[in-house]
Amino acid sequence: MTTTRSMTSIPTVTLPEEYWLDRGACLASLYAAHGPIIRTQLGQVEVVFLLGPEANRFVLQTHRHAFSYEHGWGWVFGRAVEPRNLLTMDGAEHQWHRALLHPAFAARHMERYLPLLTRIIDRRLTTWAARGIVDVYEEARVITLDVVAEALLGLRPGPEVHLCRAVFLHGAHRRGGEFAALLRSKIAERRAEATDDGLGLLAQARDEQGRPLSDEQLLAHADTLLIAGHETSASMGAWALYSMAMHPDYANRVRDEQARLAPNGKLTFAAIEHAQVLSRAVSEAERLYPPIPTAPRGLLEDVEFQGHVLPEGSKVLYSAAATHLLASIWPEPMSFDPDRFAPPREEHKKVPYALVGFGGGPRVCIGRTLARFELALLLARAVTRYQLAVVPGQRIAQRYGVTNRPLHGIRLGIKLREERGG
């Protein structure tokens, strides 16, 4: 006979102030004190945190059909999101839309994106030396937005990209109509002539009855790609650059690896793809600074987790930030130590669903490959060319909202590295 405990048996906690200042550390210590399931109040809403790798597997894989994104992300966005986008769709509708978009994000596309991404990154990086000090968060925001705009939506550098930046980076909401009109013209072009960027794939798609997606649906997808794609990548990019500035020895190793893989500075796809030292720095930034610290779901049916029944309608959050700081998986979890990902340690392989900065399971972030690729490229270009140093006297802190970003930006001093003599 199994004993099933009810919702009321779940440990109930009041979230301490620390939750708003350091969400990962706070939830990791609640996990240590109470275990992987906790009930609490977030504003007016009662929520259940499911914490740790087992919980991640439960939410993202084994019981994923019970966990709704529409009632999770839709709830966080605070409004009925119509038309729905990839993040707020469930079931068959989601599967169909995801399959349509997938080719634009496939790993084989990265090699094709390389020249464009390098141009976008270098366009910014070449200005750094003359400026002396840059806020790498602001820099990363421009770079990552331009990547989505140009690579996925086919906007052209110049006025089109500037309009996109005005709306998404500088809060020019009054120009939203103008931007929508620009996207509509891009959609019309792509309906007339097929392209294989994200917008082109969606514009050409037909459902089982042969019907195309409406312009409104395409605009909703474009909006999601711009929002989901740039803020997250910018945050992780800024923290990764900060980590390089804080750990110059590791930055030198990244640089040495690039010198080996891309001799004479000749960048190739393989130089990024096969750069293990570089890749581990990106993974460590993902672990320490997951841009989506907690992710929401709404329960579509009763489920049982670790002997507790969670009723249909419950609001649930799983947490990358908490999982990434569990000392049982990651010894000395607070220290920046990319070598934890190298053999023989390979701490991320100890248990499934230990590293979930991009989510996991069939609905793992669709932009994961692109984001990792562009961030690796950004780090490689930055540390190859520059010595980075944290400008003293600034307050560096994370701001926890839906995404986690540097609260006051991160200012780094930029010094050109001396060319290596032959």
- Binding residues for ligand HEM (CB under 6 A): 86-87, 98, 148, 152, 224-225, 228-229, 232-233, 236, 291-292, 295, 357-359, 363, 365-367, 370-371
- Residue 413: which H helix or E strand, with range? strand 411-416
Minimum distance, C-beta of residue 70 to ligand HEM, in the bound complex (Å): 11
**Complex with ligand HEM: residue 290 or 387, whichever CB lies closer:** 290
Taking the C-alpha atoms of 270, 274, 280 and 285 in order, what is their torsion angle to the nearest 10 degrees?
A: 20
**Complex with ligand HEM: residue 259 or 273, whichever CB lies closer:** 273
Distance CA 22, CA 279 (A): 26
Minimum distance, C-beta of residue 298 to ligand HEM, in the bound complex (Å): 11
Distance CA 101, CA 112 (A): 17
Minimum distance, C-beta of residue 254 to ligand HEM, in the bound complex (Å): 18
Mapped onto helix, strand or coil, the DSSP state of residue 94 is helix
* Angle, helix 136-147 to helix 108-125, in steps of 10 degrees: 140
**Complex with ligand HEM: residue 47 or 365, whichever CB lies closer:** 365
**Complex with ligand HEM: residue 40 or 404, whichever CB lies closer:** 404
Minimum distance, C-beta of residue 167 to ligand HEM, in the bound complex (Å): 16
Q: Among 54, 28, 69, which Cα is nearest to 308's?
A: 54
Question: What burial class does residue 27 get, using C-beta atoms within 10 Å of its C-beta: 0-12 exposed, 13-18 middle, 19+ buried?
Answer: buried
Minimum distance, C-beta of residue 304 to ligand HEM, in the bound complex (Å): 21
List for the chain the helix, strand, coil content (%; round to 5).
55, 15, 30
Q: Among 381, 392, 404, which Cα is nearest to 133's?
A: 392
Minimum distance, C-beta of residue 49 to ligand HEM, in the bound complex (Å): 14
Ramachandran angles phi, psi of 328, nearest 5°: -70, -25
Minimum distance, C-beta of residue 58 to ligand HEM, in the bound complex (Å): 13
**Complex with ligand HEM: residue 380 or 387, whichever CB lies closer:** 380
Non-local CB neighbours of 313 within 8 Å, separated by 6+ positions? 298, 299
Question: What does each C-alpha distance from 18 to 23, 61, 64, 240, 360 come to in angstroms?
Answer: 7, 30, 30, 24, 27
**Complex with ligand HEM: residue 232 or 323, whichever CB lies closer:** 232
Q: What is the DSSP string of 326-357?
A: -TTTSSSTTS--GGGGSTTT-GGGSSTTS--B
**Complex with ligand HEM: residue 153 or 387, whichever CB lies closer:** 153
Minimum distance, C-beta of residue 344 to ligand HEM, in the bound complex (Å): 27
**Complex with ligand HEM: residue 237 or 387, whichever CB lies closer:** 237
